[in-house]
Chains A and B, each alone.
Chain A
Amino acid sequence: MAFAAAPQPLYSPSTAAGAASNNPHKRKKPAARGKGKGKGRLAKTPRRSDDPGDLPRRRSKPSDRFLKLLRKRARDYNSDEEERLSDEDEEEGASGSGDDEAAGAVTRFEQGCRAFRVAFTKIMAKKLPDDPLGPILSAHKKLVAAKLAEDAEEHKPKGEGRREKRMAAEKGHVIPTNHLDSKEKELIKIATQGVVRLFNSVSKAQNCRKGLNPSRSKDAKVLAKETKQAFLTELSKTSNQSQKGKASSNFSKNNSKDEDEPGWAPLRETYMLGSKLKDWDKMQTSDVVNEQTEIRLDDSSDEE
């Protein structure tokens, strides 16, 4: 509690206790305390007469001076705290006389008890300042403040470091906005174009086969004719393209190649052989054909 703020009374409990502990005669103190307390609480007025009477029976011989002091103490005790200032002076004297070994225990107790009461009431009556540290014992106050300051100093860079670390971890992480901006729309448009291109080419490639059943002789003829034509056009075109050195994409051209062979890969002669082993002598042409089979969807950029 805020002992610090209390005007450091001379008779503060700590000093009283300290004095008492120094005294080897405090053995009988508990009994005396019990009595004293009881009397103090129950009957205050008869105390003046009783106390001195009690004591001589136990102790060897309290001096007159001491008895007088005791009486005065008791009177002070019973009276209220109006004369606090005068008390303090007297208390000072008492602590001085407290060295008297015989009466030590009693005086200390009396003194301590009262002092404690005074101090306690004082403390309790005191208004606490709005200290961020909260109520702290005076002795500790400085220490605690220093420690807290140290902690804060330590924590500050730690928190900062953590934030920096997080920032570093999130580097480049951009959370997208809820609406699509023009750039994203443009990208979607490009992608859509690509998909449309693919789907169109697929339908072109697959539609021409539709409705034709190779098992029927009529359709088979048509197919054969188509393949032959496609093959011839393919031949004429490959030379063109090889001159250009650029394989432009044309999905319909792929038909001609596939028309000769069964659709399912394992049925083809070249399955898992790799064109390198077979047709090794026709490497040049097969390379060109292979290039064409690759899907080139990026031709949007090439052509535009």
Chain B
Amino acid sequence: MARVHHKNGRGGGGGGGGGKGKGKGKWKMPASVARKQQAAMANVDQVTGDKIPKSFVFSRGKLPTTLRHLQQDLRKVMLPYTALNLKEKKRNNLKDFVNVSGPLGVTHFFILTNPKSSPHLRMAKTPQGPTYTFQIKEYALAADIANSQKRPRCPPEIFKNSPLTVLSGFGGLGEPFKSLVEYFRHMTPAIDPVTVKLSTCQRILLIHFDREKEMINFRHYSIKLQPVGVTRKIRKLMQNNQVPDLRDLNDVSDYVTKAGYGSESEVDDEAATVSLASDVDKLNRASRKSAIRLQEIGPRMKLHLVKVEAGLCSGDVLYPQPVGKEGLGKKGKEVEEETEGQEDEDLMESDDDPEDESEE
């Protein structure tokens, strides 16, 4: 079986511990019941009471090194409710993962495959499906993106909370995309605006649908808040917790009044400023304006929806329509045949389908 190292949710351990403590005095809970309850607690958000979606990111078949890195990056995206160190073996089949996912409360599978050396990503819901198969047209690893940036910012704390999901460009689309939106929305824990702490919102997952090219852009950013109207020097002073270098200055006031270089270039546009509901950190206090800055942390993916299946990597093909409406027998056959490795020609054909559907 797959060896699983699962990170429990925030309240999981604590909630279970409390229950046990109570049971010790009067009535001892049977171990199996306690375990089940604890498992159930771990799968439920302690504040909102919603079921927490958990995920497995794994691969089928042999992957080249870059794709294996991509897999690890995807796991980091899905943190904290994913198995970061999930080990899979060659003999593990999908059934093994499904069997493990039940007791652990894993709801989502991300399966990387590399058939005919064209990378594919399958997103599936366990145990019933559906399964969305994407072809990864382009991708960049988190490391590539960090290399491309002058000052990459990726503190490990941001992975302690799950990312926010922002979907855009999916409005008013036909069936395969409607269910896909539902899937994406339930991929990460829902946020209750009443109870959420702003300091836990540190990452954002952008899934943007490009209608012209029929591509789904997958981006992962870190959220940084900066107080508006505070000079860079003051900000740095607050952030660094260090005595600033005042050697060149005649007076302390010079430090504050002297214009720093570059601070003027970061003119905040009004659109990106928010007034915070609660204190986020030392700098970003409640009821003060803060600017939102996003910095990409990767990975970056360009996905093309190839297939939708009703079951978990099996079952009826919902998209593209298995029997071609065009009435061309040969064409229909080709569409049916495309299981994993799709030829470009097939892709072109399947590109036409969603348009037809949306028009109808």
A-side residues, CB < 8 A to B, are 168-178, 184, 187-188, 190-196, 198-207, 209-210, 251, 254-255, 258, 263-266, 268, 270-272, 293-304
Contact = CB atoms under 8 A, between A and B. Distances in A.
Given A196-B274, A298-B167, A171 B117 contact: yes
Interface string B192-231: 1111101001001010100000000101010100000000
B164 interface: yes
B165 interface: yes
A251 B140 contact: no
Contacts of A193: 271
B277 A298 contact: no
A202 B193 contact: yes
Interface in B251-285: 271-278
Given A169-B64, A209-B194, A265-B48, 20 more contacts: A169-B67, A172-B137, A175-B144, A176-B145, A187-B206, A188-B219, A188-B221, A191-B294, A195-B164, A199-B274, A200-B275, A203-B275, A205-B193, A254-B192, A265-B49, A266-B46, A266-B49, A268-B49, A300-B168, A302-B172
Given A172-B118, A195-B292, A206-B193, A301 B170 contact: yes
A36 to B, nearest CB: 70
Contacts of A191: 166, 204, 206, 219, 221, 294
Interface of B: 40, 44-49, 64-67, 117-119, 136-141, 144-145, 147-149, 164-172, 181, 185, 190-196, 198, 201, 204, 206, 208, 217, 219, 221, 223, 271-278, 292, 294, 296, 300
Nearest to B51: A274
| Interface-central residue, A194, A199, A203, A270, by most chain B CB under 10 Å | A199
B298 to A, nearest CB: 9
B217 A201 contact: no
B145 to A, nearest CB: 6
Contacts of B193: 198, 201-202, 204-206, 251, 254, 295
Contacts of A205: 193-194, 277
B66 A169 contact: yes
A167 to B, nearest CB: 9
A270 B50 CA distance: 11
B17 to A, nearest CB: 14
15 contacts: A169-B66, A172-B138, A176-B145, A190-B206, A194-B164, A194-B206, A199-B292, A203-B275, A206-B193, A263-B194, A265-B47, A265-B48, A266-B46, A266-B49, A295-B190
Given A195-B201, A195-B204, A203-B274, A293 B66 contact: no
A261 B217 CA distance: 39
Contacts of B194: 205-206, 209, 254-255, 258, 263
A207 B274 CA distance: 13
Given A176-B300, A195-B204, A202-B277, A169 B192 contact: no
